[in-house]
Amino acid sequence: MKLWLYDTTLRDGSQAEGISLSLADKLKIARQLDALGIPFIEGGWPGANPKDVQFFWKLQEEPLQRSEVVAFCSTRRPHKIAAADPMLQAILSAGTSWVTIFGKSWDLHVTASLKTSLAENLAMIRDSIAYLVSQGRRVIYDAEHWFDGYKFNSEYALETLKTAIAAGAEWLVLCDTNGGTLPHEISQVMQDIYQEIPELNHPDAPQLGIHAHNDSGTAVANAIAAVGAGATMVQGTINGYGERCGNANLCTLIPNLQLKLGYDCLTEPQLAQLTQTSRIVSETVNFPPEERSPFVGTSAFAHKGGIHVSAVAKNPLTYEHIVPEAIGNQRRIVISDQSGLSNVLHYAQKFGIDLEKEDPRCRKILERLKILENQGYHFEAAEASFELMMRSQLDDYAPLFQLQTCQVHCHLYQESDSTASSAVATIKVALNGKQLLEVSEGNGPVSALDGALRKALTEFYPAIAEFRLTDYKVRILDGTLGTAAKTRVLVSSSNGKQTWTTLGVSSNIIDASYQAVVEGIEYGLLLNSFCKIPETKIEIG
């Protein structure tokens, strides 16, 4: 059975706290949704702000390839003529074939928010839809606060739907606007509607849709319940973005509906773009991807426990409910103190290291891993450091250089009305039988350390000149100890083509930072096939 997906990320999703989309952002997301194959994309409310007007103009110039872009608006104002309402004129100017009009279903909102009569609200629904239909538009009617309205005054709520049907709406979308309805209530109300409005049972009648909010944490379940009760349109947002607690998450809904329940939502190649779409949208709205998001999260198919890893290696079905590649995700084997030999063997194969389960070095690596994790290392966040640690336990190991001493001086001084700072790092390293002494300034101790190390090594390893620090994160591991607490530092580095993350742990933040920076350089050189190198210990002088 075909289900029609309706994405409202660009309108309802952008109402989430912390999201502000530029015109370029909206166009980027719209084209990604178009590539994904979403049938309806709600672009915004033309006339509400200049950005939305420009968005629809841009899409008139360069239309989407697969999707219908939809303009969104409310019914006409009370006691006005639909044809003379500026809001509806802006809708027509947007040039879309489809228009979504929302109207009030709850008598409380009619009298308290609109401050008009129940009869006038029905007239507003009827006139707005009929006018747009007369202008050649196809109308989706969003019945706002439908489920709350039905609970408090079912007769009136049903009358609003009947009015929309008579006016020419092709879809009636039932909105759980406050997000307070539970799945069993959704199913029951849907059954009631089909009984109370028998014309909906005819093949050529308007079809029902669902628009669920997540205030009770049941938006996805509510949408699935509505589909099970007869809804053929599902509205939602990518990653569940939306006002308050968000909307039904299409990244969870689509695979459940298609892979679990057998509904026709997207083609297989389109479905395989779902994870990519989730991450592109999260990047565009400047929100970090939710690692534990079902289906599309980086942890959705991550296996950490040794028993799990061993079982998955034999048959992924043992701990995976779907094939991750079906939605564009991938299996990950996480390395940690929960790991077993299966985890180590997986990473050895990944890193191109020839190891067998019976090899005593395999057990040696596992024991070293557990010791370091107990000290505060967190290798699942820094695979590059784990590879360096593995190689350091092998027989063909040769150090890249030896640190002799390292000193860092920080200088705080007053500049105008604020405090400024600078740092100077001095390091001495042994390399190829030589002792090299270098000094570098930076705006902070890590910057100065990085600069001094690069000065000492770049002459011998020119590839270092291409390496850049791209991220630096600090976490206090045992905050109850105050300034004596252990610190874990994560450093991300890049050579312009690849990115890798390394870490260091110490009660001295400079020591931890140096470990992470050194390993970042070492791993970059490993990628450039200079040598196989170990982790280097630091001695703060």
Q: State pLDDT tens for residues 437-462.
A: 999 998 888 888 888 988 888 888 88
Burial class of residue 401 (count of CB atoms within 10 Å of its CB; 0-12, 13-18, 19+): buried
**Residue 538 counted as domain residue:** no
Q: Sheet containing 487-494: give its strands across.
A: 468-476, 487-494, 499-506
**Which residue in the block uniquely carries the two structure tokens 């005054």?**
153
DSSP H helical ranges for 197-273? 219-228, 250-255, 268-271
- Please write the tens of the pLDDT for every residue from 237-278: 999 999 999 999 999 999 999 999 999 999 999 999 999 899
359/406 same-domain check: no
**HSE-up of 221 (CA within 13 Å, CB side)?**
12
Burial class of residue 93 (count of CB atoms within 10 Å of its CB; 0-12, 13-18, 19+): middle
- Please write the tens of the pLDDT for every residue from 29-75: 999 999 999 999 999 999 888 899 999 999 999 999 999 999 999 99
Per-residue pLDDT band for 541 (boundaries 50, 70, 90) equals very low
**Dist CA 141 CA 155 (whole Å):** 18
22/43 same-domain check: yes
Residue type, 319: Y
List Cβ neighbours of 367 (8 Å cut-off, separation of 6 or more).
none
Q: Which of 283-287, 333-337, 388-392, 404-408 has the lowest mean pLDDT?
A: 333-337
| DSSP run (H or E) holding 541 | none
CATH number for the domain harbouring residue 473: 3.30.160.270
376/494 same-domain check: no
**Which residue in the block uniquely carries the two structure tokens 């770049």?**
458
Question: Is the pLDDT reported for residue 531 higher than 60?
Answer: no
Burial class of residue 333 (count of CB atoms within 10 Å of its CB; 0-12, 13-18, 19+): buried
DSSP category for residue 76: P
Q: Which of 198-207, 395-404, 444-453 has the lowest mean pLDDT?
A: 395-404
Tell me if 453 sits within 8 A of 521, measured CB to CB.
yes
What pLDDT score was predicted for residue 469? 84
**Residue 243 counted as domain residue:** yes
**Dist CA 124 CA 73 (whole Å):** 13
Q: Please say which residue of 340, 372, 392 terminates a domain.
A: 392
**Dist CA 272 CA 253 (whole Å):** 14
310/428 same-domain check: no
Q: Please say which residue of 331, 359, 392 terminates a domain.
A: 392
Token output for 264: 């026709």
435/378 same-domain check: no
Backbone angles phi, psi at 355, to 5 degrees: -135, 145
322/436 same-domain check: no
Q: Quick one: average pLDDT of 166-181?
A: 97
Residue % of the chain over a pLDDT of 70: 94
Question: Is the pLDDT reported for residue 534 higher than 60?
Answer: no
Phi-psi group of 286: left, alpha or beta (phi > 0 → left; psi -120 to 50 → alpha; rest → beta): left
Measure CA 379 to chain center.
Answer: 23
What predicted TM-score, i.e. pTM, was given to this entire model?
A: 0.70
**Dist CA 109 CA 19 (whole Å):** 27
**Residue 196 counted as domain residue:** yes
**Residue 309 counted as domain residue:** yes
What does 94-114 look like in DSSP terms, one character per residue?
Answer: TT-SEEEEEEE--HHHIIIII
513/369 same-domain check: no
Rg (CA), the chain: 30
List Cβ neighbours of 457 (8 Å cut-off, separation of 6 or more).
401, 429, 431, 464, 521
141/254 same-domain check: yes
CATH number for the domain harbouring residue 337: 1.10.238
Measure CA 503 to chain center.
Answer: 24
Q: Please say which residue of 392, 424, 448 terminates a domain.
A: 392
CATH number for the domain harbouring residue 104: 3.20.20.70
**Residue 534 counted as domain residue:** no
**Residue 293 counted as domain residue:** no
What pLDDT score was predicted for residue 397? 66
Domain count, the chain: 3
What pLDDT score was predicted for residue 49? 84
Backbone angles phi, psi at 34, to 5 degrees: -65, -45
Q: How far is CA 129 from CA 138, 269, 308, 318, in A?
A: 9, 37, 56, 52
231 or 199: which leads in pLDDT: 231
Tell me if 363 sits within 8 A of 494, measured CB to CB.
no
What pLDDT score was predicted for residue 330? 81
Averaged confidence pLDDT in the chain: 88
**Which residue in the block uniquely carries the two structure tokens 């996480």?**
334
**Residue 522 counted as domain residue:** yes
Residue type, 541: G
353/311 same-domain check: yes
10/138 same-domain check: yes
**Residue 231 counted as domain residue:** yes
Q: How far is CA 370 from CA 365, 374, 417, 490, 534, in A?
A: 9, 6, 49, 19, 18
261/326 same-domain check: no
Q: Quick one: average pLDDT of 274-296?
A: 88
Per-residue pLDDT band for 336 (boundaries 50, 70, 90) equals low
Q: Which of 100-114, 157-171, 325-339, 420-434 has the lowest mean pLDDT?
A: 325-339
What pLDDT score was predicted for residue 9? 98
**Dist CA 403 CA 409 (whole Å):** 18
- Please write the tens of the pLDDT for every residue from 469-513: 888 888 777 766 666 678 888 888 888 888 888 988 988 888 888
Per-residue pLDDT band for 533 (boundaries 50, 70, 90) equals very low
Backbone angles phi, psi at 390, to 5 degrees: -60, -45
Tell me if 430 sits within 8 A of 402, measured CB to CB.
yes
320/427 same-domain check: no
What pLDDT score was predicted for residue 434? 85
The total of other beta-carbon atoms located within 10 Å of residue 241's CB is: 24
Residue % of the chain over a pLDDT of 90: 52
Q: Which domain holds residue 360?
A: 302-392
